[in-house]
Structure 1
Amino acid sequence: MQVKIFAPHWGSNELPPQVFIDRVLEAGFDGIEMSLPLDAAQRDDWVRRIADAGLGLIVAQWETVFHPGFEAHKRALRELLVNACEARPLLVNSHTGKDYYTQEQNEALLALADSISRDYHVPIVHEIHRSRFSGHPALLMPYLERMPQLQLTADLSHWCVACESLLEDQPDTLEKTLPRVRHIHARVGHAQGPQVADFRAPETAPELQAHLAWWDRIVALRRADGAELMTITPEFGPAPYTFSQPYTRQPVSNAWELNVAMLALLRGRYEAASSSS
Structure 2
Amino acid sequence: MKVKIFAPHWGSNELPPDVFIARVLDAGFDGIEMSLPLDVAQRDDWVSRIRAAGLDLIVAQWETVFHTDFEAHKRALGELLNNACAVKPRLVNSHTGKDFYSPQQNEELIALADAISKEHGVPIVHEIHRSRFSAHPMLLLPYLCRVPSLMLNADLSHWCVACESLLQDQPEMLERVFPHVRHIHARVGHAQGPQIADFRAPEFEAELSAHLAWWDRIIELRRAGGAEIMTITPEFGPAPYTFNMPYTRQPVSDAWELNVAMLHTLRARYATADQ
TM-score normalised by length of structure 1? 0.99
In structure 1, give the amino acid aligned to 2:88: R
Structure-2 residue corresponding to 1:179:
179
Residue 61 of structure 2 contacts residue 92 of structure 2 at CA under 8 Å; is this kept in 1? yes
Letter of the structure 1 residue corresponding to residue 130 of structure 2: R
**Cα distance in 2 for residues equivalent to 1:228 and 1:273:** 10
SS in 2 for 1:125: strand
Letter in 1 for 2:191: A
Segments of structure 2 that go 5 or more residues without pairing to the other structure are none
RMSD value, Cα: 0.5
- What SS does the aligned partner of 1:57 have? strand
CA distance in 1, matches of 2:266, 2:167: 22
Rounded to whole Å, the distance in 1 between the matches of 2:252 and 2:171 is 33
- Secondary structure at the residue paired with 1:196? coil
Counterparts of 1:272 and 1:103, CA distance in 2: 40
Between the two proteins, the alignment pairs up a number of residues equal to 275
Q: Structure 2 CA distance, aligned partners of 1:113 and 1:84?
A: 11
- Distance in 1 between residues matched to 2:223 and 2:167, nearest whole Å: 24
Q: Please say if residues 2 and 273 of structure 2, whose CA atoms lie closer than 8 Å, have aligned partners that are also in contact.
A: no
Cα distance in 2, alignment partners of residues 273 and 53 from structure 1: 25
Q: Distance in 2 between matches of 1:178 and 1:272?
A: 20
Q: Aligned-pair distance for 1:272?
A: 3.5
CA distance in 2 between counterparts of 1:269 and 1:137 reads 27
Partner of 1:162: 162
SS at match of 2:101: coil
- The CA distance in 2 between the partners of 1:242 and 1:125, in whole Å, is 26
1:87 deviates by 1.1
Residues in 1 aligned to 2:98 and 2:202: alpha-carbon distance in whole angstroms: 36
1:108 aligns with 2:108: yes
Q: Over residues 61-116 of structure 1, what are the superposed CA-to-partner deviations in whole Å (9 max), with x where a residue is unaligned?
A: 00000101100000000000000000110000000000000000000000000000
Which digits, 9 at most, give the CA deviation of each residue in 1:145-174, with x for residues without a partner? 000110000000000000000000001110
The separation in 1 between residues aligned to 2:270 and 2:48, in whole angstroms, is 29
Aligned partner letter, 1:50? I
Which ranges of structure 1 fall in alignment gaps of 5 or more residues?
none
Aligned to 1:265: 265
1:139 aligned residue = 139
Give the partner amino acid of 1:73.
H
CA distance in 2, matches of 1:99, 1:274: 37
Q: Which runs of 4+ in 1 moved over 3 A?
A: 272-275
User: What residue identity is the alignment partner of 1:112?
Assistant: L
Change (3 A) 1:241 1:119: same
CA distance in 2, matches of 1:176, 1:269: 24
- 2:12 is aligned to 12
Partner of 1:91: 91
Q: Give the partner amino acid of 2:215.
A: W
Mapped to 2, the partners of 1:57 and 1:118 lie a distance apart of 19
State the percentage of identical aligned residues: 77
Who is 1:212 aligned against? 212
Deviation of 1:273 after TM superposition, in Å, equals 4.2
Q: How far apart are the structure 2 equivalents of 1:175 and 1:26? A: 37
Post-superposition shift, 1:274? 3.5
- CA distance in 1 between counterparts of 2:3 and 2:91 reads 14
Q: In the alignment, does 2:82 pair up with 1:82?
A: yes
